[in-house]
Amino acid sequence: MTLLRTVVWLSLFVCSCVLAGPDDEQESLFSLPVEELLDLEVTVAARKNEPWLSSSGTVYVVSRSDIENYGWRDLKEILASIPNMDYFYQWSWLPGGQRGFTGNMSGTLMLIDGREVQNLLANEAFIMNNFPSSRIERVEVLQGPNSTLYGGNAAQGVINVITRLEHDENELHVLGGEVGTRHGHLLLNHKNGDFSASLSASYFESDQDYKQLREFVVNTSEFSRSSKDALRNLDPSAFRNNEQNYTVDTRLSYQGLYFGANISRSENVSGIEAVTYDYITGDDSRRGYANYYLGKNIEVSSRWQGNIELSYFREYKEKDRLTTIVPEGATRYKDLIQYNEREDIGPSDRARLATQWQYNVNESADFIFGYDGWRTVIGRKIKYRDVNGDIVLFTPAEWAKEKEKSTKHAVYTQYSKTFIWDTKSLKLSAGLRYNQQDFTNSAYLPRASLVYQSDESQAIKLTYGEAFRPPTIFEFDLVVDDELESQTMQMTELNWSKSFVFKGIKFASIAALYHMKAENFYEKILDPTRGIWQTEITGEHRIYGLETQLKFQAHDWQGQLSYRYIKPDEERVGTESQILDVPKYKLKLGLVYRLNDTWRIAGFADHWAATFTESNLLAGNGTGIEKIAAWTTLNMHLFRQTDRYTYGIYIENVFDTEYFHSNGRGTSPIKYLQAPRNIRLQFSYKF
């Protein structure tokens, strides 16, 4: 680490000497995110442009200037600034949820430029290191159910990643850091009259083999507590946690006609979640997706505008796993019989037709109509097993072969009307979606919102919404009947958003109170009479919560302060009851200070309260409740930004805090150690 610090500071000094000079004297590039936010129009809340302040529901916006100021590397770090996102990073992908709900991120709908890129196999918002921040113009996060406009999986909210395509910038960005972390990104935008072409391409790789992590994964009392511990390979030098991925976003457009693609390819291991006998080497996993789309924006008249789009989504998953046979009487790792086994799923395909039309009745009222339909073919799970030198291919017996092909149709509408008198206004939005798809129940999904503004500086919003998440092919394993009911979500929310100036300081605030109820959870339950496992629908879960975010700026300072508090239902484990897997409260503070016209320093502090999780007991059988301690981390960013160049140093976990994410998906491992202090250098050039 000492050598890296020397290299970093030497690089900064050399760059400063080369780039600084009379030609770089310029007016301040210091961004004004509060003013940007108040002037911004967002699309995620209503599938049309509308001012952030008067948008329906609770919408958080992370702008390009936020990303540059705080030095965030990728979407995982960006989402850490949202007050009510819950996740647990286990060094492979990012499971989690929103507003106190957590799992595999299947209740959050993932969009890129408004287009769904949800995992087809498990309906997951699949987030790895394949969303570098250099790819992102801004992120809009909508809280709460929004299936009325977006369909399935928008049960907890929506994340819309808006790329930097067609933003009139060309840029080369590179990043280097510890544990073999390297990243490069190229952005090209060209416009000539009505024709435009854009390309955004990135590559990322990292070993992610922190010494602290290697030591942690062989700590059987703190980490796994599994019956397999006595037979494991507990050699930390065998630890492997590498990842590589690349992304391509591209778009061509001419006079309303456009063609584009979003492509992602990744290769990594299973992080530290997959606890097996040789878990420290993980599973080699290769996965990726591509979404190709062709569309046309149509303006019939000043009142009628619409869009029609065809898209084709394709994904695949391949995994090499070290499979183990435990001979009778085995007492140590060397006694095990091991061989490599390959497991493929896919490729899976989805062909989709979507169209949406907007009719403006007048300046204060409009209708939205839409249709969404697709045909999905899930790729079959195939395992390759070496049996006495012969390769045997087979599909597990529980794989739901008859559920591999499905069709969905949906129609939706939304009416919006604004009543204005004096300086006051009241906007009414009401929508309804009818959704029909194979193997699950049809549904009518309403959403309604009232937005009252006494003036242009504040809005009081009351929102009610419903949403659903359809079952996945994995959840059809061992289903008794041919169909499963979808999981559902209901929400009532009161939001107060306001901008104001106090003693020369500009503020923009969000505060929301909400109640959400989820029903129809899928659970595999053992039938005691038949002795088999079956998927059944069980239970409901309620959460009451408060979330706030305050952004501010004054002179050479700017920042944000966020807080969340939730009260979910308690869960019973043995004789104890406790709220599990998510902290009741979080507190976040970000500050940016302008040192001069080009140099800035920023810090972001993140505090999570203690978390409780269900874990295996050290002595005896069964499980109990384990406490994951509260933690606070601080990340720092020092950088220089001119018209063309940006370069700086980012320090993650400045005080080298040892902190853990709880396990929201099982009893072993108990918790996941997060990154120790580390440093990275970032550089970008606009041309």
Q: What is the pLDDT of residue 536?
A: 77
Pick the CATH number of 33-680 from 2.40.170.20, 3.40.50.2020, 2.40.290.10, 3.40.50.300: 2.40.170.20
Which sign does the torsion angle of CA 39, 42, 45, 49 carry?
Answer: positive
**% of the chain surpassing 70 pLDDT:** 92
610-621 mean pLDDT: 86
Q: What is the pLDDT of residue 400?
A: 87
Per the model's pLDDT, the better-predicted residue between 205 and 393 turns out to be 205
Of 232-246, 389-403, 498-512, 573-587, the least confident? 389-403
Distance CA 585, CA 567 (A): 9
8 Å CB contact between 282 and 319: no
Residue with tokens 């499905």: 406
pLDDT tens sequence across 95-154: 999 999 988 899 999 999 999 999 998 889 889 899 999 999 999 999 999 999 999 899
Q: What is the pLDDT of residue 537?
A: 82
Distance CA 381, CA 395 (A): 6
8 Å CB contact between 56 and 71: no
Q: What is the pLDDT of residue 479?
A: 66
Per the model's pLDDT, the better-predicted residue between 473 and 175 turns out to be 175
Please name the amino acid found at residue 417. K
Domain ranges of the chain: 33-680
Of 182-191, 413-422, 467-476, the least confident? 467-476
pLDDT tens sequence across 65-84: 999 999 999 999 999 999 99
Per the model's pLDDT, the better-predicted residue between 337 and 263 turns out to be 263
Confidence (pTM) = 0.93
8 Å CB contact between 106 and 153: yes
360-389 mean pLDDT: 91
8 Å CB contact between 148 and 369: no
The 3-state DSSP class for residue 77 equals helix
Q: How many CB atoms lie within 10 A of CB 361?
A: 12
Q: What is the pLDDT of residue 527?
A: 67
Confidence of residue 14 (pLDDT cuts 50, 70, 90): very low
**% of the chain surpassing 90 pLDDT:** 68
The total number of residues shown for the chain amounts to 687
Q: What is the pLDDT of residue 532?
A: 62
Confidence of residue 13 (pLDDT cuts 50, 70, 90): very low
Nearest to 475 by CA among 465, 464, 486, 467: 486
462-491 mean pLDDT: 85
Does the structure show a pLDDT above 80 at 281?
no
pLDDT tens sequence across 407-463: 999 999 999 999 999 999 999 999 999 999 999 999 999 999 999 999 999 999 999
Does the structure show a pLDDT above 60 at 22?
no
Confidence of residue 478 (pLDDT cuts 50, 70, 90): low
Distance CA 99, CA 465 (A): 15
Q: What is the pLDDT of residue 482?
A: 66
Distance CA 546, CA 560 (A): 17
Does the structure show a pLDDT above 60 at 21?
no
Give, rounded to a whole angstrom, the gap between the first and last alpha carbons of the chain: 33
Mean per-residue pLDDT over the chain, rounded: 90
Q: What is the pLDDT of residue 234?
A: 87
Q: What is the pLDDT of residue 31?
A: 58
Q: What is the pLDDT of residue 299?
A: 94
8 Å CB contact between 676 and 632: no
Q: What is the pLDDT of residue 24?
A: 39
Confidence of residue 94 (pLDDT cuts 50, 70, 90): very high
Burial-class residue 601 by CB neighbours within 10 Å (0-12, 13-18, 19+). middle
Nearest to 255 by CA among 292, 293, 297: 297
Could you give phi then psi for residue 490, rounded to 5 degrees? -125, 145
Does the structure show a pLDDT above 80 at 282?
no
Q: What is the pLDDT of residue 77?
A: 97
Confidence of residue 237 (pLDDT cuts 50, 70, 90): confident
Confidence of residue 16 (pLDDT cuts 50, 70, 90): very low
Q: What is the pLDDT of residue 29?
A: 43
618-626 mean pLDDT: 83
Q: What is the pLDDT of residue 638?
A: 98
Distance CA 156, CA 151 (A): 12
Per the model's pLDDT, the better-predicted residue between 417 and 341 turns out to be 417
Distance CA 76, CA 67 (A): 12
8 Å CB contact between 507 and 550: yes
Q: Which of 281-295, 318-332, 402-416, 661-675 has the highest mean pLDDT?
A: 402-416
8 Å CB contact between 428 and 46: no
237-246 mean pLDDT: 91
Which sign does the torsion angle of CA 398, 399, 400, 402 carry?
Answer: negative
